[in-house]
Structure 1
Amino acid sequence: MLDHVIIGQYVPGKSFVHRMDPRAKLICLMLFVVFLFISRHPFVLIGGLILTTTAFYYAKIPLRFYIKGMRFIVIIILFTFILHLFLTREGPAIFSTPIFTIYLGGVTQGGFMATRLLVLFIMASLLTLTTTPVALTDGLETLMKPLKKLGVPTHELAFMMSIALRFIPTLLDETAKIIKAQRARGANFTQGSLWNRLKAVIPIFIPLFVQSFKRAEDLATAMEARGYEGGEGRTKFRLLTWLKKDTYAVIVFALYALIVLIVKIGGGN
């Protein structure tokens, strides 16, 4: 499962979404995430599904690659659906046993929340799948530039976020190697009591932390050797260019945000 986590990975390509300005992609994502959760009206979710499907189509990410990457998030989505299924007591009962009762409201709310999480994950992962870490850092730094007047180290924050995203696949790969090495030594992570399983995980986390600190130290040494001293006075090899297509994309997501507000003000959930 760890081999198929797609968060933090980048898939090279020349699609419409790949060629968009990272600032436009970040603005679109922020608008989408914020306004997707403002209202629970079905129309809002349908609009989110349409936007997500359109963005996925224009990103040209292989569907098989994406399905493999969904294995990890499906667990969270199913868990969310089951929680709403058994804890929501709204509407007529559609299935009843001496132990529990399932209501229609639980099915609808569970399906709504599960779909919303799925849409959110797809849209958020498209950002890293279609944007290089360098471009993502430049986009974040540019958008946070107004905060620099307040003394916020915008370059350092953007750089840390980019490094964190970049090292997610690396750390997952290290975790998979450690698990295989421990299994080769006779470790068992699936049998025994819960306490024994927790103790079996400890030999995974200790070498993982050691490797993480070692990689961080190697990265710091490499940055110092190249004369890195922060964002002050640094120039950029690749300059960001805002095109008409970026404006059109932002307008589309802004219209979605406006529609959500209208639905919310008009009495929608």
Structure 2
Amino acid sequence: MIEILSPARVATARTSGALVADILQTLRTRTVPGTNLLEIDGWAKEMILGAGAQSCYVDYAPSFGRGPFGHYICTAVNDAVLHGRPRDQVLAPGDLLTLDLAVAQDGVAADAAISFLVGGTGDPESVALIAATERALAAGIAAAGPDARIGDLSHAIGTVLGEAGYPINTEFGGHGIGSTMHQDPHVPNTGRPGRGYRLRPGLLLALEPWVMADTATLAIDADGWTLRSATGCRTAHTEHTIAITEDGAEILTLPTH
């Protein structure tokens, strides 16, 4: 299903997006060496429910997972990159942590992810990984607008990731979002310009460039959810929800403070 939101529903999406962004920034500030992933999950739960919102993850049970997910946020560490299920793990200085959060308010969802180094410093490879996903996301957003096609966004994202020297996996990527978290159209992280669905005002997309340092192959944990690099290399993942407007794209998941 491809959903086109009314202006009123896009306004609701702004509220959901701001909540997602503010929770992620609060979690980033609280997370230090010695923080347990289960603590992060608990903090996310408290903030989501405290805002009167709903988690998109707790009852999430797609065909590719061993569901339901049962937690409020995805926490992926170092070689983990997607669907990281919180577990009893204490973070160390220099760990590369990705937090991925999707929340719905008043029936409209927003989705975002950030990658950062625990303690604020780490190896140059990790810094480069994170920076590449951030640049790719900016390029994808810049390519978005009415009458652009999905392939234009995918091409913009993939060009940045490829020029940075990273293999690109196309099994998982960006997606439509609205009354549910995952909708059509799929937005691969590489593609050919001028191809695919033509964007329209009112369409919401979650764009999410992610990379693994030296492989495009994923491995799955015994938990049935957490996806890791097959080689054990480090990974990064950055995501925003955007709304297509009459003259471009609006980022909905920017923090308010």
- TM-score between both structures, scaled by the size of structure 2: 0.28
- Using CA pairs under 8 Å that are at least 6 residues apart, name the structure with larger relative contact order, 1 or 2: 1
More helix by share: 1
Higher radius of gyration, 1 or 2: 1
More strand by share: 2
- TM-score between both structures, scaled by the size of structure 1: 0.27
